[in-house]
Structure 1
Amino acid sequence: MQNPLQRLNKTDNDYVRYALLLASILLITFIIPKQAKFKYEFEQGKPWMHEDLVAPFSFAIQKNPTQVQREREQIRTNFKPFYKQNTKIEADRKRHFTSLINQLSASETDVSAEEKKYLLQRGTALLDEIYERGIIALDTNIRNRPKEYIITELRNNVAEDKQLQAYFTTSEARSAIITRANEDSTINKAWFIRTIIASLEPNIFYEQDLSEKKLNELLENVSPTRGMVRQNEKIITKGSIITTDRMQVLTSLKNDYEAKHGKSYLLFIGYLVLVASLFIMYAIHLEIFHHDILSSTRSMVLILINVLIFILLTAYIAKRQSVNVYLIPYTIIPIVLLAFFGLRIAFVTYFLVILLCGLVVPNPYEFVLVQTMAGFTAMLSMARIRYISQFFISALLIFMTYCLVYLGFSFIKSGLIRTVEWDIFIWFGGNFILTLLAYPLIYANEKIFGFLSDISLLELSDINNKLLKELFLRAPGTFQHSLQVANLAEAVIDRIGGNALLTRVGALYHDVGKLHNPEFFIENQKHSFNPHDNLTDLQSADMIIGHVTKGVETAQEYNLPKRVIEFIRTHHGTTRVEYFYKHYVQEHIDEDVDDTAFRYPGPKPSSKETAVVMIVDSVEAASRSLKEPDEKQIDNVVDKIIDSKIQDNQFDYATITINEINATRRILKKLVKSIYHIRIQYPAEAEKKKSTNKKTWVFKADNVRDFAWTSSRKFVWDAMPITVEGKKIMCMSFYGKEAYGVYRPFSTKAVAHTIKSYSKFTIPYPYPVAQSVEAANGMEYPMICFNY
């Protein structure tokens, strides 16, 4: 069942698309925070580039957040926490001590009643002395404080500042008791000391509620302003450097101005005009350069959804201010759109989003420039995706761009490293992680909207794909032909401009219809038997033409994308099967032959890519049929094929220009000649008779025990140099000219690869030459090897 979003194009309508644009304009205007903008832009350390500025109204000079925070920290540092004496504890501890003394028997203390009475008085006096100074309870506020730390003590409703050293701690009170007992032998009794120490307990405690209340009052009383600027007072003159103090004054004026003019219906109109203007320019760009996208409802929905999502996120974060906008991975937009629509659409749409978000975020100039640089990095690093690892590399490069550009801005603003807000790099790190979501988002958009991305094309270009493997096994000649067409077509499109990856994939699958009855196509015929000998011309033509319709059916069976199937439909357009048509005409001279039965059903190519594949398919097949290809023959073949396509009006609907067709003509001639290695013309006479002339060859070889050589008038002699450990080695191959088309791409390269590999894993090749000769049997000698 087709996805509803994929059916959008069936109801393509200009009114629908323009309604989508209008709805987007209104929605964005409603959701973005509306705030009046101060008409002057300025930066600290830069000159004031505008006219002399006079205060339009009186306003307070606001301290910057750092100053306010510094003052608050100073208050917290200097704040004296409140402690209160609990007077009940002293009396309670004395009673406790008296009770313990009275409970002791004579046998336990070994003292008389008179001595016990004396010790009771001495103990009470010691407790009076201890509690007069006070025992402070150690809490988290003072536990690690120095003795000079000052607190505020409340005693009998009187507040008094004291240092911590004015009080005993519990351990210090115990030590004081022991010291007094050691100084007075009359009380230096173990049981007495134990009893009085057991009666000690802190009587000075932290007043948390009162302390927090007083601290909050002090913090709230920190003024966010410092002085006033009166109306009509000159603030700054043109050309003056914006110092730190002037920056605070200008920022204060800007904030007050935007607050005073924050609510007005003109604000809404202003934002509406700006948003509408940006969208109108965007629509005009699409109309001029990408009418196919503007005329596709499905494409417009995909683009507008991506635009709206990021603007909604920006507006939400700008209102909450709990998250930095640099966390939002804006570069996902060009990465996703690049996969479906190309570089230009990705850039223009991304710039539209950045400009719209610039209306919302603080420091719009910095924001737009930073995001523009990151966007350029994203598009350049993802312009030609070939590996999935590119997503990680691209995200890493984007992260580095953010960091470098932001650092540059920070240094320009203040020129000091200490003023850099290093916390923002954490947000850049989050942005890096979120940017990696581009890969699954491309896949999701592809499935939801039915588009074809480079990721899917890469998967389809893998020759281990199930359909291509079946083509290789059942129609190996067609498979080799398709590979050659893919290479040539990709090279052409790469130079004249277009989607090279789509062209390669389309070329790889253009002949999959030959899976059915492959023996009816010459490239798959292994023996002299030709099955067309048993068919009429009409039957043969129908068999040949049928590979297009069967190819479409096979592609649909394997769920190939529609854009790839389009190459299968159009690679022959509405051309004729010339061989069987001409043969039929010769057999029916007296008839007025209708060529309809000999023409492919079409349609004709509708894009530059399908047109190029049509040309390359015919050129590659025709050049294979040349028995002795030379430069002139190849030129004639390419010109004849392209001219016949033009005369047959096969490019009427293709988006390819005459200049691009002529460029294709030149590129193909050069490429096909390189395939067939057209460099040296061999005289035909040399092959027909022996030469009567004398030619002497001198061979010299060092460090050899035997030798061999070969010669033939029909040999193709090919060579290429390589370097092994600084020594130049000439790799050569000799083979019959009949094998030229097969051996040319591989033979000499195989020699070079062998020498390099064995030199790497065994010993360096010791000779200056390495030759491979096509022969009837095999044998190896120094510098020459006969292969069969």
Structure 2
Amino acid sequence: MSTLITKLNKILRFPLLLTIVLLITGVLQYMLMAKDVQGQHYDLKLFQVSPETIRSVKTIEDIEKTKKEREAAANEVEPVYSYSEEKGKNQVSTVNTFFDDLFESKQNLSDVKKKEKNKAMNKEIDAIVKDLDSLAVDVPRIDVNKADLRILLNQDTAELKMMQDEITKAITDQMSVPIRDDRLVEAKASIERSIRYSSVFPESVKGIGIRIARSALVVNETKDIKATKERMELASANIDPTRILQGQIIVQEGQVIDREIYRQLEMTGLLSDKVSNKPMIGLAILILLQMIFFYAIFTSNKEKSNFSKTRDLFITVLVYILALVLMELLNLIDGEFDVIIGFLFPAAIVPLLLRILVSERLAILATVMLGLSAGIIFQEGYSTVMQMEVALYMIISGVSCLIFTRRIENRSKILQTSFQVAGINILFIAFYLLLTQSNYTWNELLFYLIAAIVSAVVSGALTIGLLPFIESAFGIISSFRLIELSNPNHPLLKKILMEAPGTYHHSIMVANLAEAACEAVGANGLLARVGCYYHDVGKTKRPGFFVENQMNGFNPHDQLPPTSSSDIIIAHVEDGVKILEQYKMPREIIDVAAQHHGTTLVKFFYFKAKELDPDVNEANFRYSGPKPQTKENAIICVADSVEAAVRSMKEPTAEKIRNLVHAIAQDKLMDGQFDECDLSIKELKTIEKIFCDTLNGTFHSRIEYPKEEKA
């Protein structure tokens, strides 16, 4: 897998590779989860007998039924009427005005000579008619004609006065109460009876008086259109929307599907020919968001190499997809039980694996994304969007796992964490069961208790079981793998010890220096230590050519030209890489062997060769590199040179050691060996100090004891 990742990094730039991988991951996730959002649909016809009881899978408003109920409520509202007392007064005033005109005309006629009286009366009648017509613009016209006016003008003034009083009194009585359109006829009949049976009313003009009174009555209580409309709107608004509730039975098994039932089935999208694409689009958007978050977190990491980021990407995608597949398999048996089977899922496995193999940030993100996916996958038939209790269970279980695994030194820590997560799972499920306020049987309670424990323990067990396979497949190096590689019984370490014992001791000393320095600057001390154990494994091919393995003062380089000696020394790096690859060692360990000399110059043989040939090519005496790519490799590069130099010192002192360490570190810096890693000058000074402290403790001057005086 490491070879494949290396080839992909050479072919594609990481952002493009990341986009392609996440696109494929999103498509796979969509294919896995598509059926979880499609729901169940039925091929049913109108007036068909339902083959089963069908419930609504969601809460939805029945818009048509709501509209009808609101219209019915509005129509039942009684109209609002407005009573006008002024109308009664106006009608009485109109009648009084009419009689005032009569009295005035009678007064005018009293001064007219008898022979001119007829002509004058006609004139007065015309004037009264004109006044009546002008009054009729705003109120109903008093029902009298010219003949009636002639009769009234011939009546005695006292009789007319009694007639006026009787009519106005009758009008006032009738219009003191509300008169609507439907009561106007009744009111006119009532006023007619009142006048007809009046004893004070002159019989000769009763008919005229009745017509005057009837015509004077008008509707004084009219419909208030605005207030009525407001009341209708209020009544309509008070009607709650009619809803088909989630889980509500729409049709019972064996019931005929009438038009109303068919309409409800159609509206809730349960008919096969009415399947909505909205859930599929929603799922696609959710997956797109998830992939965007993954893209953002991978591109935000600037410290790791493209190889490491690509490897992390493949591990994350593999673990994420496998978790989704496991969820889908578990979901297949969900319908066979009345409990939430999702609580059995090993929710902590993904954060555990990613925390150990990749990073804590990515583990947190994957936990949240997996929780959202689980909410949809384990969604029950009547859940609106997702099964929130399962989603929260996954997230809380995963986050608690990350909190409890801040430091993982060995595999037993994983099992210990599993039991701690089990406690959290139990507490969450207890919260869920209590909040639902439902009654559960002892069997159900026992299931949920077992599910909480099984979920956590299986997470730990699967993590321990899968780690070696993933580490081996991807050449990744976890703390567990590093601890295994540091075992002295490892075949390669035995090989170094047996074939190059001096190199073995040198590697141990370099490991001590590198680990202490790495921990001081926040680098991976364990990786540096184990990398140092193997960094010089290439020397086992020709152990006698390296000074730490030479015995009896014999140095084979004395018999070789400088170029040959240089080639042998330089070759130990390439030989070490090949040996480590043969043993399928993790890439990080191989990188230590490849980069621990960078492109430094083999100075001893270079200057020796230059004495023989001043034009010698310096490039032939440099290691092939690459230069250190990480802090750990840069520190090992310095530690390797420092340990060898200090070991060869005669009578080392703290001052000598400090000067030598500083000189070597500055030489590496000026030679550009740290150009391709993120080691700072400040960190380099810290490393120098740690090296000095460690070396002073190792190569301290012995105390010279005084000789015993002779007696």
**Fold in common (TM above 0.5):** yes
Q: Hey, what does 2:395 align to over in structure 1?
A: 372
Amino acid at match of 1:285: I
Q: Hey, what does 1:308 align to over in structure 2?
A: 321
Separation in structure 1 between the aligned mates of residue 435 and residue 517 of structure 2, nearest angstrom: 47
Q: Hey, what does 1:352 align to over in structure 2?
A: 369
Q: Hey, what does 2:649 align to over in structure 1?
A: 626
Q: Hey, what does 2:618 align to over in structure 1?
A: 595
Q: Hey, what does 2:101 align to over in structure 1?
A: none
| Residues 549 and 657 (structure 1), Cα distance of their counterparts in 2 relative to 1, 3 Å cut | same
Separation in structure 2 between the aligned mates of residue 592 and residue 261 of structure 1, nearest angstrom: 89
Separation in structure 2 between the aligned mates of residue 540 and residue 257 of structure 1, nearest angstrom: 90
Deviation sequence 1:720-755 (CA, Å, 0-9, x none): xxxxxxxxxxxxxxxxxxxxxxxxxxxxxxxxxxxx
1:427 to 432, 441, 451: 451
Note if contact 2:5-2:310 (Cα within 8 Å) is conserved in structure 1.
Answer: no
Note if contact 1:8-1:298 (Cα within 8 Å) is conserved in structure 2.
Answer: no
Amino acid at match of 1:671: T
Matched, 1:563 2:588: yes
2:594 counterpart SS class: helix
1:480 counterpart SS class: helix
Residues 146-185 of structure 1 mapped to structure 2, 5 A cutoff: none
2:564 to 523, 528, 539: 539
Deviation sequence 1:145-196 (CA, Å, 0-9, x none): xxxxxxxxxxxxxxxxxxxxxxxxxxxxxxxxxxxxxxxxxxxxxxxxxxxx
Q: Hey, what does 2:37 align to over in structure 1?
A: 34
Q: Hey, what does 1:270 align to over in structure 2?
A: 282
2:677 to 654, 657, 667: 654
Amino acid at match of 2:559: N
Separation in structure 1 between the aligned mates of residue 421 and residue 473 of structure 2, nearest angstrom: 27
Note if contact 2:475-2:585 (Cα within 8 Å) is conserved in structure 1.
Answer: no
Q: Hey, what does 2:218 align to over in structure 1?
A: none
| Residues 294 and 510 (structure 1), Cα distance of their counterparts in 2 relative to 1, 3 Å cut | closer
Q: Which moved more, 1:20-29 or 1:566-575?
A: 20-29
1:286 to 298, 316, 333: 298
1:486 counterpart SS class: helix
Higher helix share: 2
Matched, 1:324 2:341: yes
Q: Hey, what does 1:506 align to over in structure 2?
A: 531
Separation in structure 1 between the aligned mates of residue 657 and residue 348 of structure 2, nearest angstrom: 47
Note if contact 2:19-2:295 (Cα within 8 Å) is conserved in structure 1.
Answer: no
1:554 counterpart SS class: helix
Q: Hey, what does 1:154 align to over in structure 2?
A: none
TM-score (structure 1 length as normaliser): 0.53
Structure possessing the higher relative contact order (Cα contacts under 8 Å, 6 or more residues apart): 2
Residues 660-739 of structure 1 mapped to structure 2, 5 A cutoff: 660-676=683-699, 711-712=705-706
1:622 deviates by: 2.1
1:618 deviates by: 1.5
1:17 deviates by: 4.1
Note if contact 1:6-1:450 (Cα within 8 Å) is conserved in structure 2.
Answer: no
Separation in structure 2 between the aligned mates of residue 650 and residue 460 of structure 1, nearest angstrom: 28
Note if contact 2:401-2:421 (Cα within 8 Å) is conserved in structure 1.
Answer: yes
Q: Hey, what does 2:25 align to over in structure 1?
A: 24
Amino acid at match of 1:22: L
1:567 deviates by: 1.4
Separation in structure 2 between the aligned mates of residue 343 and residue 659 of structure 1, nearest angstrom: 27
Q: Which moved more, 1:667-676 or 1:290-299?
A: 290-299
Q: Hey, what does 1:492 align to over in structure 2?
A: 517
Note if contact 1:293-1:300 (Cα within 8 Å) is conserved in structure 2.
Answer: no
Separation in structure 2 between the aligned mates of residue 253 and residue 449 of structure 1, nearest angstrom: 51
1:472 deviates by: 1.4
Note if contact 1:286-1:294 (Cα within 8 Å) is conserved in structure 2.
Answer: no
1:34 counterpart SS class: helix
Matched, 1:572 2:597: yes
1:437 counterpart SS class: helix
Residues 88-127 of structure 1 mapped to structure 2, 5 A cutoff: none
Separation in structure 2 between the aligned mates of residue 426 and residue 233 of structure 1, nearest angstrom: 48
Separation in structure 2 between the aligned mates of residue 677 and residue 510 of structure 1, nearest angstrom: 26
Note if contact 2:2-2:475 (Cα within 8 Å) is conserved in structure 1.
Answer: no
1:507 deviates by: 0.9
1:6 deviates by: 8.6
2:300 counterpart SS class: helix
Amino acid at match of 2:37: K
Deviation sequence 1:380-438 (CA, Å, 0-9, x none): 55555443333322322322332234335556776999999442111123324422022
Q: Hey, what does 2:220 align to over in structure 1?
A: none
| Residues 625 and 294 (structure 1), Cα distance of their counterparts in 2 relative to 1, 3 Å cut | closer
| Residues 372 and 639 (structure 1), Cα distance of their counterparts in 2 relative to 1, 3 Å cut | farther
Q: Hey, what does 1:439 align to over in structure 2?
A: 464
Deviation sequence 1:311-356 (CA, Å, 0-9, x none): 3443554573436112111322122223432333333223322233
Note if contact 2:353-2:463 (Cα within 8 Å) is conserved in structure 1.
Answer: yes
Separation in structure 2 between the aligned mates of residue 327 and residue 402 of structure 1, nearest angstrom: 10
Amino acid at match of 2:452: F
Separation in structure 2 between the aligned mates of residue 671 and residue 387 of structure 1, nearest angstrom: 27
Higher strand share: 1
Note if contact 1:6-1:448 (Cα within 8 Å) is conserved in structure 2.
Answer: no
Separation in structure 1 between the aligned mates of residue 307 and residue 544 of structure 2, nearest angstrom: 46
Separation in structure 1 between the aligned mates of residue 392 and residue 698 of structure 2, nearest angstrom: 48
2:677 counterpart SS class: coil
1:468 deviates by: 0.9
Q: Hey, what does 1:336 align to over in structure 2?
A: 353
User: Could you list the runs of 5+ residues in structure 2 that have no partner in the other structure?
Assistant: 40-58, 64-235, 251-264, 270-274, 380-385
| Residues 312 and 256 (structure 1), Cα distance of their counterparts in 2 relative to 1, 3 Å cut | farther
Amino acid at match of 2:684: I
CA-atom RMSD in angstroms: 4.2
Residues 595-614 of structure 1 mapped to structure 2, 5 A cutoff: 595-614=618-637
Separation in structure 1 between the aligned mates of residue 314 and residue 237 of structure 2, nearest angstrom: 52
Separation in structure 2 between the aligned mates of residue 412 and residue 628 of structure 1, nearest angstrom: 76
1:660 deviates by: 3.8
1:479 deviates by: 0.8
1:649 deviates by: 1.0
Deviation sequence 1:546-601 (CA, Å, 0-9, x none): 3222323333343433432221121111101222333444x34x824422232112
Amino acid at match of 2:282: G
| Residues 712 and 418 (structure 1), Cα distance of their counterparts in 2 relative to 1, 3 Å cut | farther
Note if contact 2:367-2:399 (Cα within 8 Å) is conserved in structure 1.
Answer: no
TM-score (structure 2 length as normaliser): 0.59
| Residues 501 and 366 (structure 1), Cα distance of their counterparts in 2 relative to 1, 3 Å cut | farther
1:459 deviates by: 2.4
Q: Which moved more, 1:369-378 or 1:472-481?
A: 369-378
Q: Which moved more, 1:323-332 or 1:256-265?
A: 256-265
Note if contact 2:60-2:268 (Cα within 8 Å) is conserved in structure 1.
Answer: no
1:521 to 534, 542, 546: 546
Residues 93-242 of structure 1 mapped to structure 2, 5 A cutoff: none
Amino acid at match of 1:352: M
1:289 counterpart SS class: coil
Note if contact 2:426-2:453 (Cα within 8 Å) is conserved in structure 1.
Answer: no
2:37 counterpart SS class: coil
Note if contact 2:426-2:452 (Cα within 8 Å) is conserved in structure 1.
Answer: yes
Matched, 1:388 2:400: no
Amino acid at match of 2:671: D
Amino acid at match of 2:424: T
1:377 deviates by: 4.1
Amino acid at match of 1:356: S
Deviation sequence 1:755-776 (CA, Å, 0-9, x none): xxxxxxxxxxxxxxxxxxxx9x
Separation in structure 2 between the aligned mates of residue 556 and residue 541 of structure 1, nearest angstrom: 24
